[in-house]
Amino acid sequence: MARATGDAEKTDAPAGAWLGGLRAATRAIVDYALPPRCPGCGVIVGDDRQFCLACWSSLDFLGGPGCTHCSIPLPTAAPGGAVACGACLAEPPPFDGAPAALAYGPVARTVALRLKYGRRTGHARLMARLMARHLVVAGETDAVLLVPVPLHRWRLWSRGFNQAALLADELAQLTGAPRDHHLLLRVKPTASLRGKGRGERERIVAGAFALAPDAKARAAGKHVVLVDDVHASGATLRAAARVLRRSGAARVSALTWARVVPDAAGGNIFDFASLDSDMQSERTTG
């Protein structure tokens, strides 16, 4: 069943959230009664939450050498060495690494959309499994604090759950790393970033986030790992990371299911402007 997160659900969530929960529960029952299907293409597979061979083979796993700041793959970089990509040399981002399980492609996109809009909340476990190795590789789960990118309460009410919070919950279960859903607050509803240029995106998300009043006590000295589903333009992640830096965290990174890798995003498969995690197509709350 979908879990609502944030302070909103504890107070007066309207009928939309209940209906969302009911739909998710119905979906869970239907899922239970039907044979397991590939989350990428829907063909029947042997085990629940497994990809078929064709979809699995098409996934572009990330994790090789990359930019120290934004984790974009840099195949020629020496593993483990500090290196910056051109964009980060020009303007370092406010996070210390932005690893993702996968390069954004058709299957990664389908799974993310089915979680967010298709309410296939069970996909969060599968996604977190592939994301978790980026936490485990760091070898420091004791010091990690998982912080999902929060939704504004209006959007939380209309959707009934926050997909980033579901991912953080699953990551916490898989790795034992603690999570904090309320360290970062979404204090301003934001308009869709669709089709906006970089400067305008940054302006739209500026001021969208704030720290919880006691954030310093909870995050000081920790490696705060922002968790979200998709890293596209990164405007939302940068805005969130800038605010988290004020918490006294020793490090702030951004872990996602899939990220747009410019070289991998050629062709017409991707509508780059529609990918940012802020671009929930069902509603504009600005």
Which one among 6, 20, 21, 40 touches Zn ion, defined by CB under 5 A?
40
E-strand spans in 209-276?
209-211, 223-231, 251-259
The residue to which tokens 């090789």 are assigned: 64
Nearer to Zn ion, 88 or 206 (CB): 88
Query: Judged by CB under 5 A, which stretch of 22-30, 61-69, 123-131, 258-266 contacts Zn ion?
Result: 61-69
Residues 84-113 binding Zn ion (CB under 5 A) are 85, 88
| Residue 59 binds Zn ion, judged by CB under 5 A | no
CA–CA distances in Å: residue 126 to residues 98, 100, 101, 120: 20, 14, 11, 11
| Residue 70 binds Zn ion, judged by CB under 5 A | yes
Our measurement of the distance from residue 124's CA atom to the centroid of its chain's CA atoms, rounded to an integer in Å, reads 10
Number of residues this chain uses to bind Zn ion (CB under 5 A): 10
Smallest distance from the beta carbon of 91 to Zn ion, in angstroms? 10
d(CA 119, CA 115): 5
| Residue 243 binds Zn ion, judged by CB under 5 A | no
Q: Please provide residue 280's backbone torsions phi and psi, each rounded to the nearest 5 degrees.
A: -65, 115
| Residue 55 binds Zn ion, judged by CB under 5 A | yes
Nearer to Zn ion, 74 or 212 (CB): 74
For residue 15, the one-letter residue type is A
d(CA 163, CA 120): 10
Which one among 17, 67, 130, 204 touches Zn ion, defined by CB under 5 A?
67
Contact residues for Zn ion (CB under 5 A)?
Answer: 38, 40-41, 52, 55, 67, 69-70, 85, 88
